[in-house]
Amino acid sequence: MIDYKQNLAEFLTKVTNLPVSNIYNLIEIPPQENLGDYSFPCFQLAKEFKKNPAEIAKEIKEELSDNKPDWLDEIKVAGPYLNFYLEPGFFAENLLKEILLKKETFGHKEIGEGKNVIVEYSSPNIAKPFHVGHAFTTILGQAISNIYEALGYNIIRMNHLGDYGTQFGKLIVAWRLWGDETELAKDPITELTRVYVKFHDELEKEPELEDEAREAFRKLEAKETAEVELWQKFRQVSLVEFNRLYDRLGIKFDNYNGESFYSDMIPEVVSLLEEKNLLEESEGAQLVDLSEFNLNPCIILKSDGTTIYASRDLAAILYRNQEYDYHKNIYVVGLPQTNHFQQVFAVLKKANFSKADQNVHVGFGTVKFKEGEFSTRKGNIILLEDLLNQSVDKTRKIIETNNPEMTKEIIAETAEKVGLAAVSYTYLRNSREKDIFFDWDEILDFEGDTAPYLMYTYARARSVLQKSNFSSIDISKIDFTLLNSEAEFSLLKELYKYPDAIESAAKEYEPSILLRNISQIARSFNRYYHNVPILKTDDNDLRSARLALLEAICIVIQNGLKLVGIETVERM
């Protein structure tokens, strides 16, 4: 695919004697379509040649007009600016050939080739409910992984399970006192939560439970069989639950090493910090002073010698470095943990760790619900499973009403996909640091900024293609240059932005950038489709070209949604 901005910079360099990169950076996208596709301000040249910029613009235009390349339609002078208008037919042909040829890899790049990127996401806590906050990291992390993968990076998807810490001592004691095997088999997380909550209630009457819990955790750390076996059981039943959700959402990990995995590697962290003389003792604890970073000290070992969350994260970084020699190590974790990651990264910096600047905390906001929108099973924790089920239920009703002829099975299948997509899209559509707000009327609105809207647009375009003879048309015989109307050109320009949208989304860790592009493509297409009856186009050549445009739109919408974890449906 042609990079017009680059081409233009090369074209201009011949007459301005400014270097290409300099020109490239000066080229702007005009604020209005009637001002052309690119513009070049002549102020810098004016300074250099000590001339009026408007005059320079005129002179350059004269010089360039004689050997205008094929891709350029017109050059116009507007005061101190030169405005460039692309040739719509050429543009259409070059872009559509690329999309139809590359199909599902259109927009993908190889800039990440040979580089390992670790994306850590989801990371729920064992024996605790999987709530709507964990869904944020899960869905966002998956999208970021896919987007980096599309750029050629080698992705390692890691789930840093919260499977360690003193709370497991409490859970072991609580389970031995009050656990019920039958209930555990039925609904493990509910049962484990029940005994854990009871432990805290009973603690008021029986403070010595605390000592028992500490003892149980000590035994767990010392790898005593009975404690390790119980802990493994809790971990295993929790994973079965989590995996059910991951399967439903189509989410996969390469690695489930939880915090426990790294607890054995703490001595390595301690000796590294000791070697660099960074450990200080304070009230029996070992810590790293971070005052030069304006941060509180990072505790590495507690006074009783047990490890903490931050030290396990440091051990994990050493491990990731050895195991994957990573280019980037990305943490998709909520904003409340910003300070924690700042401390961990500052310790690395202070220790002169080679990859100290290759770790990124990608934070996100909190999840809120419209008043009375959600009845919860458990106090005020909203489980992801309940959220998904409600979304699918509501979607089913809408699809049933819209498609009375659909079979029950197809309705159920479609509702599952659309309902999940509606939830995922709500998590991803805005800048990730913003809080999100669930309002069913809004997220299931088939006309709104929603997954159902995009999926419906896709399904509609597909159904037009199905009704046509497009599959029997020889693509190499299509005259794409016929797609030169204003409406077609502006739609094509949205498609042209897709590869850049992937790249910016990766750079900013913001799938919302990609989704904005997809939703603009869909809006632009719907406007076009409203005005141009594609199937009823009289001229056969033009009809074929328009069908090819439709096919390209389907390809790009489907690709974009797939990157953020949303699967399209053919009918809805």
Asked if residue 162 binds ligand ARG (CB under 6 A), the reply is: yes
Closer to ligand ARG by Cβ: residue 53 or 133: 133
Closer to ligand ARG by Cβ: residue 138 or 426: 138
**Is the CB of residue 506 less than 8 Å from the CB of residue 148?**
yes
Asked if residue 313 binds ligand ARG (CB under 6 A), the reply is: yes
**Residue 572, CA distances (Å) to 288, 456, 564 in order:** 57, 7, 20
Asked if residue 443 binds ligand ARG (CB under 6 A), the reply is: no
Count of positions on this chain that bind ligand ARG (CB under 6 A): 9
C-beta nearest to ligand ARG: residue: 162
**Residue 134, CA distances (Å) to 73, 301, 387 in order:** 51, 28, 12
Asked if residue 241 binds ligand ARG (CB under 6 A), the reply is: no
Asked if residue 245 binds ligand ARG (CB under 6 A), the reply is: no
Closer to ligand ARG by Cβ: residue 333 or 451: 333
| Residues of this chain, 115-144, that bind ligand ARG according to CB under 6 A | 120, 123-125
Which two tokens mark 93? 């042909």
Nearest alpha carbon to residue 444 among 370, 338, 539: 370
Place of tokens 């990079």: 3
Kindly give the pairing relationship between strand 279-282 and strand 359-362: unpaired
Q: How far apart are CA 214 and CA 475, in angstroms?
A: 71
Closer to ligand ARG by Cβ: residue 124 or 365: 124
Kindly give the pairing relationship between strand 81-86 and strand 38-41: antiparallel
Selected binder of ligand ARG within 288, 333, 348, 461 (CB under 6 A): 333
Residue 360 CB, shortest distance to ligand ARG, in Å, is 12
**Is the CB of residue 538 less than 8 Å from the CB of residue 467?**
no
Measured at the CA of 131, the angle between CA 425 and CA 377, to 5 degrees, comes to 115
Asked if residue 160 binds ligand ARG (CB under 6 A), the reply is: yes
| Residues of this chain, 44-83, that bind ligand ARG according to CB under 6 A | none
Residue 109 CB, shortest distance to ligand ARG, in Å, is 29
Q: How far apart are CA 311 and CA 393, in angstroms?
A: 44
Residue 309 CB, shortest distance to ligand ARG, in Å, is 7
Which two tokens mark 560? 């974009």
Selected binder of ligand ARG within 91, 106, 136, 331 (CB under 6 A): 331
Closer to ligand ARG by Cβ: residue 64 or 330: 330
Which amino acids are annotated catalytic? 128, 131, 134
Mark residue 379 as left, alpha or beta (left: phi above 0; alpha: psi -120 to 50; beta: remaining).
left
Residue 125 CB, shortest distance to ligand ARG, in Å, is 5
**Is the CB of residue 274 less than 8 Å from the CB of residue 261?**
no
Q: How far apart are CA 384 and CA 387, in angstroms?
A: 5
Q: H helices within 276-330, ranges in order?
A: 309-324
Residue 331 CB, shortest distance to ligand ARG, in Å, is 6
Residue 196 CB, shortest distance to ligand ARG, in Å, is 15
Closer to ligand ARG by Cβ: residue 124 or 169: 124
Residue 312 CB, shortest distance to ligand ARG, in Å, is 8
Measured at the CA of 152, the angle between CA 146 and CA 156, to 5 degrees, comes to 55
Closer to ligand ARG by Cβ: residue 257 or 403: 257
Nearest alpha carbon to residue 147 among 489, 554, 450, 432: 432
Judged by the rule CB under 6 A, the positions of this chain that interact with ligand ARG are 120, 123-125, 160, 162, 313, 331, 333
